[in-house]
Each structure stands twice: as C-alpha cells, then as structure tokens.
Amino acid sequence: MSLDEAATKPHEELAATLAEGMDAVNVLIRERMASENAPRIPEVTAHLVEAGGKRLRPMLVLAAARMCGYAGPYDIHLAATVEFIHTATLLHDDVVDESQQRRGRPTANLLWDNKSSVLVGDYLFARAFQLMVEPGNLRVLSILSNAAATIAEGEVLQLSAAQDLRTTEDIYLKVVRGKTAALFSAATEAGGVIAGATEEQVQALFDYGDALGIAFQIVDDLLDYQGDAKATGKNVGDDFRERKLTLPVIKAVALADDEERAFWTRTIEKGRQEDGDLEHAIALLEKHGTLEATRRDALDWAAKAKAAMAALPESDLQRMLGDLADYVVARIN
Amino acid sequence: MSLDEAATKPHEELAATLAEGMDAVNVLIRERMASENAPRIPEVTAHLVEAGGKRLRPMLVLAAARMCGYAGPYDIHLAATVEFIHTATLLHDDVVDESQQRRGRPTANLLWDNKSSVLVGDYLFARAFQLMVEPGNLRVLSILSNAAATIAEGEVLQLSAAQDLRTTEDIYLKVVRGKTAALFSAATEAGGVIAGATEEQVQALFDYGDALGIAFQIVDDLLDYQGDAKATGKNVGDDFRERKLTLPVIKAVALADDEERAFWTRTIEKGRQEDGDLEHAIALLEKHGTLEATRRDALDWAAKAKAAMAALPESDLQRMLGDLADYVVARIN
C-alpha cells in the first residue's frame, strides 16, 4: 500500500480535528519568526516554514494535551516551540549535509548561504526557548531542553559514527532517538504535562512518541533499499551512495564473512564504489535477511507505539494517534 | 597605557576574589560538556574551553550575585550557562567568518570541520538551556532566553548590514548589543535576580553590563585603526581589509562628500582595495575626527557603566566592577 492508496490518512484526520489549534500555532509561528531588525530572518524562515511539511510535531503536542483534557492556551506555545526546534535543526542539517533540496525546494544554504542557515537556525533555537519559558512550567522546560540536548548529541554521534563499520544497533538507536524520536516524545510528553495528566499517562505519551519516531526512521531506512521512488520521492540506493550506515546495513555487517566485510569496508568506509555495488549490497542484505529483520523491527516499534496509546483513555484523538502508528508502517506492511 | 603597563588588572583582582566560585564553575563546565555517547563533543569543546580566555562573563554573574548578598549555589549554574552560550557562539562565529585562529590556536572548524563546529555549538546551546532551567527561576530563564535571541538577531543583522554603507549608528548599536553587550547585561542582571536584589539594583546591574559590553566593542573597533599590534594581537587595518563597517567608518561615511563616498563604496561595499587605500581611509577618519569621536563614545559608555555601578551598595566587588569599566577604556584614554 503506497501513500496515495491509503484509505485514510491519520495525519490529515488529525489536521482536520486540530484545525483551529493549528491555525493558532501558525499565527504564533509567523509572529515569532519575525524580526524587526534583521529582515533576513523571516525571509529564510518563511522559505522553510511556508514550504509546509505535515506539521506533525506540533500536532502531536496539541493532540496529547487535548486528549488529556487541556483546553489551552499554552499547548499552542509548546507546539510552536517544537516546530521552531525542528526547523532550526533542518537548517543546520542542510549545512552539515551540504543538501541541495528540502521539501522539493532548494535549501536555504543554497538560496542564501551557509552563514544565514547557521545564524537563522540559532535565532530559531533562541526563539523556541523564549516560547517554552512563557507557560511557566518548569517540568516542560526540563523536557524540552533535555530533548534539545539529545537531538544535538545524536547529530554529533551520527557525524562520528557515519562510515564507521563498528557502529552497533545500540548506537544506531541513539542516533535515531536524537534525529527523530527525541522531539516526537518531547512533544507528546510535554503535551501531557501541560494538561496535568497522571504520571502513567505522561509515561505512555512519552513511550508513544519515542516508539513512533523510531518506527518512522526505520521505515525511512528500509524504503531507501526497497521503496517505490514515485511514492517516496527518493531514489533507491541514495543512502548507500551517500555511504550511510543504516539499519539493514548495520545488521548485514554484523553477519558478514571476511569477503563481505571487505566489500562494506571498501564501499561504505572508504567510499570507493563501482558499478554493480548497489546490486551486490542489496543481494547481501537479502542473503542475510536484514531487510526483513529491519521490517520486523519497524513493525515492533509501531506496535509499541500503538500499545502505549491503547493504555490511554479512549477518545477520537487517542484513536487517531493509534492509527498514525499503523500508518507510519503501512508502506512496508 | 598598554595592557602590560596597567598598574592593576581588575579582571585579575576579580578572578582572585572569586577563585573558589570560579573553580566550581570550571568543574561544572567540564562535567556538563562531557558526552558519554559522542566523544567528539568534549574534544571540540575542550579545545576551546581549555584555551582559557578571561572567563569574564561567568565572573560577571558571580560578582553581581555575590555583591547582592547571594551565597549560592545557583550563580554557579548561571555562570556556566553564560560561558556555554558564549562558547557556542564562538564556534558558530568561526564557521560564519571562516576564521583560522581563535585565542592563538587553530579554530575548531579548521582542526575538525564546519559540521562539528555547527553541531557541537548546538549541543552547547542545549546544555546551556538545561543548566539555566535547574535554578527553577522563571525570570532568570526569561532574561537568558531573551539574551540568546538578541545575540542571534545581532549576528544575522551583522551579516546583512556588513558592507552596506547605509548602516547607521543605530544599527551598529544593535549589532554590538547582539555581539557583546546582550550576554554581559544578561550575566549581571541574572546574577542580581538570583540574589533577590531590588528592582533598582537589577536595573543598575543590567545597565552596567550593557554599557560595559558596548564600551568593550567600541574600543576594539578603535584599536583596529590606531592600536599597537604588540598589545592588541591584531594588525592595524584588519577590519578595513575585511571590509567591516565599524564605528569610525560609519561616522566618516555619514560625513563623506561625493568623492569620499565613492572611495568607501569601492573599498568597503565592492571590496576592490588597492595599495595606499588603508592610509587614505585613516586620513579620512582623521579629517572628519571620527577616531576621536569614537574614542569619546567609548569613554561615555564606560562612564555610564561606572555610574550604574556607583548606584549599587559599596563593596569590594562593586569597586572592582567599577574599576573594570575604567580598565576597558584604559588603552584608549
């Protein structure tokens, strides 16, 4: 089942249900990304913010807060906070990865320069922290500042683990938590805390965001080796060509004999790739069953997310978040 | 009077008086810059943190808190916070400026790469926010997150104002507040707030840090055109060669006739510099008296800092901070 064939799209259902709140989030984002003194800031930010994206992270905040009975207003601030943190990390990621395209448009580092991306990213981080101070909730501040540190640590870890065949599944998981899951889990956890949810509910919301983020990233890794380019917008083998040690490869390296190890060393560590290497890499992944094992991991994490959500009181939003966990893995199931 | 001839060095006197607190700050900095998962982080950070520098900003926090009667422990956290924010901005500045040297050593972007500098800077920002949450004081959080936004905004403003002859003294002041004064004033203000100082005292501490930071930066601009390379470690004319619109030039552009304007357009805006241009630039600054006017501005800001400090209760630390304001301008007085 591809994205387009999906019968229902839970993120669209969430967007419709949360439309009023998300409008308020978008107003706040536009207001706070403005800068009277430095017009370069809203230019760069608007390029990225207006490009859209699903606004999944702010929706997670609103959904978590509202399913726990919160009527506002500070879930709006926290939703804008997580979107600012996300946008700031995208700006910095594109500098670090020397990316040319993001969401189908040229990246800010290409349209302006790396300097603007670094400094406007810093500005958005600072604005995020200003926003998160406003609700006056110290526990929320602690959750979000911890998430920011986990994100940055994950990014640095990825930098040093990249192309290092000693990278284990444990390290992979830390990188993925930093890249994706930390902000998902902070979004749902903070939503619960601002709503005054019980400790059990807050824990379930954290577990949901954490598992959903991990499933999300593993699916991404898997589709890079077996996806439909039309549906994913990525070419099969991009990660291999960029020498990324993603989960199917990490699993295959762990099972490699000497000859296979030499292959991975040459293609990933040393980056000396030749014609036919991608096909050979995929054959090795097939031989050791690591694409299938990776698929099972993604399904397990999605099931964990769904189970965490099932522990929360039944409601429309609770059902939609459960559906979202299914949807994330629908493309590989 | 050069740095070496100064009879007393107030920052050394401060360092001696605050030695115990600063030891605790250094311990906390080392503890918090560690990362179990990403060893690249302490490597990069240690390179910069261990290189020293005067640790002026954390000393300002401790001095402000203690002169207002605070006995700890959270001034230590706030001192480490401002040093982390400062170190993070240095890492990002060196990427933006493509710098080769910092504090007499090769920069991190040169020793490692721009990627590490961007991401480790992000990590330090996040760690700074974690640290500042710990005292549990929402007003302090507001002061420091506002300062972080002012810093980032000032940096972006500098990027777009650089080489733009329309830059006014007003814009210059905003850039300088971002580059230097915002963190100085946040350091002294936050120190007062954590100590439970009166509103008048907190305002005086803010004014002191703000004026001290501005004086500090203006002196830097001035010495670039008339300093002693041995004492400053900079070559005369570096700013001109790097096409920086500093205060003496902004003042001279405002007074320029058509021919002089053409000169500034060619050398600063277009960057087409020839032999003899630096000498001609200095002659223009002398002709319009803008070096002298800049010197007077620096002295005025130092006097404002000293006056703000004089409004606070007399004490050894209060006297040292007053002396520090004199010391900052001693090289040009």
Contact B145 A133 (CB under 8 A): yes
The pLDDT of residue B36: 74
Are the C-beta atoms of B145 and B114 separated by less than 8 Å?
no
Chain A residues within 8 angstroms (CB to CB) of chain B? 35, 37-41, 89, 92, 95-96, 114-116, 118-123, 125-127, 129-130, 133, 136, 138, 141-142, 145-146, 148-149, 151-153, 155-157, 159-160, 171, 174
Average pLDDT value for residue range A63-89? 96
Instruction: Look at the block and give the residue holding tokens 């040393």.
Output: A270
Helices and strands, number each (H, E), in chain B: 18, 2
Q: Span A10-330: which CATH code?
A: 1.10.600.10
Q: Quick check: A324 pLDDT over 90?
A: yes
pLDDT in tens, B289-304: 999 999 999 999 999 9
Q: Residue B105: helix, strand or coil by DSSP?
A: strand
The pLDDT of residue A39: 75
CA distances from A293 to A180, A208, A301, B291 (A): 21, 22, 12, 71
Cβ-based neighbours of B214, under 8 Å, separated by 6 or more: B173, B176, B177, B180, B181, B301
Q: Residue A28: helix, strand or coil by DSSP?
A: helix
Q: Which residues of B touch A163 (CB under 8 A)?
A: none
The pLDDT of residue B332: 85
Residue B326: CB atoms within 10 A of its CB come to 17
Q: Quick check: A175 pLDDT over 80?
A: yes
> What mean pLDDT is reported for chain B?
90
The distance of A3 to chain B (nearest Cα, Å) reads 33
Q: Which residues of A touch B145 (CB under 8 A)?
A: 126, 129-130, 133
What ipTM describes this predicted complex? 0.89
**Among A118, A183, A100, residue whose Cα is nearest residue A145:** A183
The pLDDT of residue A6: 46
Question: Looking at the partner chain, which of A116, A146, A155 has a beta carbon nearest the beta carbon of B119?
Answer: A155
Question: Looking at the partner chain, which of B116, B129, B157 has a beta carbon nearest the beta carbon of A145?
Answer: B129
The distance of B1 to chain A (nearest Cα, Å) reads 37
pLDDT in tens, A246-287: 999 999 999 999 999 999 999 999 999 999 999 999 999 999
Q: Which residues of A touch B89 (CB under 8 A)?
A: 122
**Which parts of chain B sit beneath pLDDT 50?**
1-6
Calculate what percentage of chain A has a pLDDT beyond 70: 90
Task: Report the CATH superfamily, name and number, of domain B10-326.
Answer: Farnesyl Diphosphate Synthase (1.10.600.10)
The pLDDT of residue B190: 98
CA A105 to CA A86: how far, in whole Å?
Answer: 17
